[in-house]
A and B are shown apart, each in its own frame.
Chain A
Amino acid sequence: AQSVTQLGSHVSVSEGALVLLRCNYSSSVPPYLFWYVQYPNQGLQLLLKYTSAATLVKGINGFEAEFKKSETSFHLTKPSAHMSDAAEYFCAVNSGGSNYKLTFGKGTLLTVNP
């Protein structure tokens, strides 16, 4: 079975500060990992994904994430927050197998203060 835990349902940062959104996964096999962002009244937009090619993955809008197998983590970071980053962020895992599916974490709402 696979699962995702996002620590912190709500993270608040100041504009220009570091953004760190935490994601830990559970998977019995090497996983594929994704970060999505959802703006109000919109669907999900892919930020980045890990497919075992490189442990440090760079995505859109200045976001990146590092896959750490020993810690079963895939935290999302951005060096300097912008007001437009305010949204809900979802980490997701897909472990493959015959009945594969994308399993999402509960989400982290990011607030950016001026």
Chain B
Amino acid sequence: KAGVTQTPRYLIKTRGQQVTLSCSPISGHRSVSWYQQTPGQGLQFLFEYFSETQRNKGNFPGRFSGRQFSNSRSEMNVSTLELGDSALYLCASSLVPGPQETQYFGPGTRLLVL
């Protein structure tokens, strides 16, 4: 079974631009979560989607948004990019939502904001 896939793997943008990252979960998984990983802040939860609805949201500004499609694929968008948005963005999927569920991670999209 194929794992979680994320596209693109690498991205370079300039301040003020917007970016859209894509995530395809493991087949049959219906819950998708997004995380930001930086050297300073570590791994931080962005949001979780299930059945095309955002279930939980982390402590990030409104510039960070996401959505989920009927096939469980998810996208996240960051508008008005700032230098501090440079990070590895990780997507994770699980069969269903729940604190006991194992989340399977993709390889990430590395975003560099210049």
Residues of A that sit less than 8 Å from B by CB: 32, 34, 36, 41-46, 49, 51, 90, 92, 94-97, 99-107
Q: Is the CB of B56 within 8 A of A100?
A: yes
Give the number of A-B contacts (CB < 8 Å): 51
B105 within 8 A of A: yes
Instruction: Tell which of A36, A101, A107 touches B45, judged by Cβ atoms closer than 8 Å.
Output: A101
Q: Is the CB of A51 within 8 A of B100?
A: yes
Number of B residues near A (Cβ < 8 Å) is: 22
Shortest C-beta distance, B101 to chain A (Å), equals 9
Known: A46-B102, A46-B103, A100-B98. 17 other contacts (CB 8 A): A36-B105, A43-B4, A43-B105, A43-B107, A44-B90, A45-B105, A46-B104, A94-B99, A96-B99, A97-B99, A101-B45, A101-B48, A101-B56, A101-B58, A102-B103, A104-B42, A105-B42
B108 within 8 A of A: yes
B11 within 8 A of A: no
The CA of A100 and the CA of B47, in the complex, are separated in Å by: 11
Q: Is the CB of B104 within 8 A of A99?
A: no
- Given the known inter-chain contacts A43-B105, A51-B100, A107-B42, please indicate yes or no for A102 contacting B56, CB distance below 8 A: no
Of chain B, the residue at the smallest CB distance from A34 is B102
Shortest C-beta distance, A33 to chain B (Å), equals 10
Shortest C-beta distance, A38 to chain B (Å), equals 9
CB-CB under 8 A from A94, the residues of chain B are 99-100
Q: Is the CB of B102 within 8 A of A90?
A: no
The CA of A107 and the CA of B42, in the complex, are separated in Å by: 8
CB-CB under 8 A from B45, the residues of chain A are 101-103
B114 within 8 A of A: no
